[in-house]
A and B are shown apart, each in its own frame.
Chain A
Amino acid sequence: MLLLILVCFGICGFSTKVKHEFYVSVTDIYVDAEKGQINGVVKCFPDDWERAMNALLANKVQRYVQLDSTSQDSLHAVYLQKHLNVQVGEQSLKFGYSGTVRGPDEVYLLFEGPMELAPEEYASGWTVNQTLLADIYPTQENIVILHYDGQKYTSSCREGNEYEFNYSF
């Protein structure tokens, strides 16, 4: 019993910040051959997103929530452009931010771009690099789901794979 008490006191100085917090986002990328478009949506938690946006405004007096929707959209576009890079073969997908939808517990960021390759070329050589929110949370994990020709592939960009993965359907 004395041993037990000694261990208990000995370890008391150890700090326990172990609340199981998860920093995660989910991105869907669709190859829409009929419309000749690449569409996508990023889903993340509103508080995480707000923190990332405030970090962009670090040198300004205004906070993210004080901005009008046009200014918020500009921030979203800049951030998304910087943190989501997708290549198919040698071709970088050129998509642009197209809007935000807010749910009760999540924020959806929409993006779209033209299909610049023939549809069958999207079957192989995908490289996805997604560092969204990783600048804020080192343990951020960005789940990415690729949709192509009725097929689906799920993976994630995280610290362990340097926020990048490759895939061919």
Chain B
Amino acid sequence: MFYIELGLRHILDIEGYDHMLFLLALTLPLTFRDWKQTLWWVTAFTVGHSLTLALTATELISMNSTWVELGIAVTIFLTGLFHLLRNFSVSNSGRYLSLIFGAVHGMGFGSYYSFIAQDDVFWWAWLPFNVGIELGQILLVVVLLFVYSIFQKIGVSIKTVRILVTGVVLTLSAQMILERIPNELF
């Protein structure tokens, strides 16, 4: 139970809201009517995240954390841009995007996970931790879609809302990219 809660808090942690921003970008074209697609996209993210989390924590793959942090910011920016360029249309490609970008996010968390999950609990905690992540994402996405549906109900153009949200996503992620560019590039 502790590790489920930890996974939940990992997603809902406002101190590091890059995860939230990614979900905001990911769900830009979705509505409650697309619940199947929504579930696919969110689950694909968790699968990608879980796999690279395990691979990084067990040191089977290793990447400089500076580049991973930059990669996370880039995935947020690209997700927002992808939906904007496709005029917020829903397609199956979203799940593949989600899987790949989830993998990038998972790498950012491997060292933390290997620190907290000691040898004897490593795999035993891995599943509940990722279940917590999935639950946290679903919760967040439901809230986002609920907010979109309220805007629709009160007659606000959903396209306008999406453009506004895309503006927020692109700007914040662009700032993140600039802040995270490694010093060795200069």
CB <8 Å contact, A21 and B164: no
Q: How large is the interface on A (under 10, 10 to 19, 20 to 34, 35 or more residues)?
A: 20 to 34
CB <8 Å contact, A20 and B179: no
CB contacts under 8 Å to B, within A1-52, are 3-8, 10-12, 14-22, 24, 26, 43, 45
Bound: A155/B180 CA distance, A: 33
Residue of B nearest to A158 (CB): B9
Given A22-B112, A24-B112, A16 contacting B163 (CB threshold 8 A): no
Given A14-B172, A18-B176, A156-B2, A3 contacting B16 (CB threshold 8 A): no
CB <8 Å contact, A20 and B167: no
Q: How far is the CB of B55 from chain A (nearest CB, A)?
A: 18
Q: Is the interface of B mostly helix, strand, loop or mixed?
A: helix
Given A18-B176, A19-B16, A20-B18, A3 contacting B163 (CB threshold 8 A): yes
CB <8 Å contact, A8 and B2: no
Bound: A5/B181 CA distance, A: 24
Residues of A with Cβ closer than 8 Å to B?
3-8, 10-12, 14-22, 24, 26, 43, 45, 105-106, 139, 143, 154-156
Tally of contact residues, B, Cβ under 8 A: 34
Residue of B nearest to A3 (CB): B163
Query: Does chain A have a CB within 8 A of B118?
Result: yes
CB <8 Å contact, B18 and A24: no
Residues of B with Cβ closer than 8 Å to A?
2-3, 6, 13, 15-19, 21, 69, 72, 84, 108-109, 111-112, 115-116, 118, 121, 160, 163-164, 166-168, 170-172, 175-176, 179-180
Q: 20 extra interchain contacts, Cβ-Cβ under 8 A, other than A17-B179, A18-B17?
A: A3-B164, A4-B170, A7-B163, A7-B164, A7-B167, A7-B168, A7-B171, A11-B168, A14-B171, A14-B172, A18-B176, A19-B180, A20-B18, A20-B69, A20-B108, A21-B15, A21-B16, A24-B115, A26-B116, A106-B115
Q: How far is the CB of B105 from chain A (nearest CB, A)?
A: 9
CB <8 Å contact, B172 and A11: yes
Our pick among A4, A18, A45 for the contact of B163 (Cβ within 8 Å) is A4
What residues of chain A lie closer than 8 Å to B72, measured between beta carbons?
20
Our pick among B16, B109, B115 for the contact of A26 (Cβ within 8 Å) is B115
Bound: A156/B167 CA distance, A: 38
